[in-house]
Amino acid sequence: MNTLSILAWTALLSFLPISELRGGIPFALASGLPWYGAYFFAAGCNALVAPACWLFLGSVHKGLLALAWYQRFFDRFVERARVKLHKGVHRWGWLGIALFVAVPLPMTGAWTGTLGAWVLGISKGKTMLAVVLGVLIAGAIVTAVLLLGVQALGLFIKKV
């Protein structure tokens, strides 16, 4: 696979709500990108989620609300995000969003963090700052776990 294809797949995986950094960084590393290239490129692509999501919520979303199936889906998704984020945001403010995004687990990434911030009325500027900070932390965690795991596995395999 050539470098352009690797970057395109890394960008796509980093931007998708299902995989985000948990998919983009491992793919990039497994495809041969150096850890710093994988980290910065995937984190940069994942940080673009916040403005894209905000743009979507301010325009396309309003038109789609006329569709009953979309409104049901969106209402369920929003309620889950609101419930997950409310306590942390109430206590920590925009930093609560950053901490939520920083945890690299399913349903805690940039998409849910941005949506939750929008639902809870956090300003666009604070949301962008919180998501970028959270993405940088999550990317560092994912990269460190992968690199340490690969090194540990290498030690184990050499002994066997």
Q: Is residue 18 part of a domain?
A: no
Return the sign of the alpha-carbon dihedral for residues 85, 86, 88, 94.
positive
Please count the structural domains in the chain.
Answer: 1
| pLDDT for residue 154 is more than 70 | no
Q: Is residue 35 part of a domain?
A: no
Q: Is residue 86 part of a domain?
A: yes
Average pLDDT over residues 98-124: 89
Q: Is residue 55 part of a domain?
A: yes
| pLDDT for residue 89 is more than 80 | no
Residue of higher predicted confidence among 106 and 98 = 98
Mean predicted lDDT score pLDDT of the chain:
89
Query: Range with the lowest mean pLDDT among 13-27, 38-52, 75-89, 125-139?
Result: 75-89
CA 121 distance to own-chain centroid? 20
Average pLDDT over residues 78-103: 84
pTM reported for the whole predicted model: 0.83
- Domain residues for the domain of 62 are 47-159
pLDDT band at 27 (very low <50, low <70, confident <90, very high): very high
* Predicted local distance difference test score (pLDDT) of residue 16: 95
| pLDDT for residue 150 is more than 80 | no
- Whether 5 and 125 have beta carbons less than 8 Å apart is answered as no
Cα–Cα–Cα angle for 111, 117, 118, nearest 5°? 90
| Amino acid letter for position 122 | I
Q: Is residue 5 part of a domain?
A: no
* Predicted local distance difference test score (pLDDT) of residue 98: 95
Q: Is residue 7 part of a domain?
A: no
Residue of higher predicted confidence among 158 and 82 = 82
Average pLDDT over residues 109-132: 91
Q: Is 91 exposed, middle or buried (CB count within 10 Å of its CB: 0-12, 13-18, 19+)?
A: exposed
Average pLDDT over residues 123-149: 95
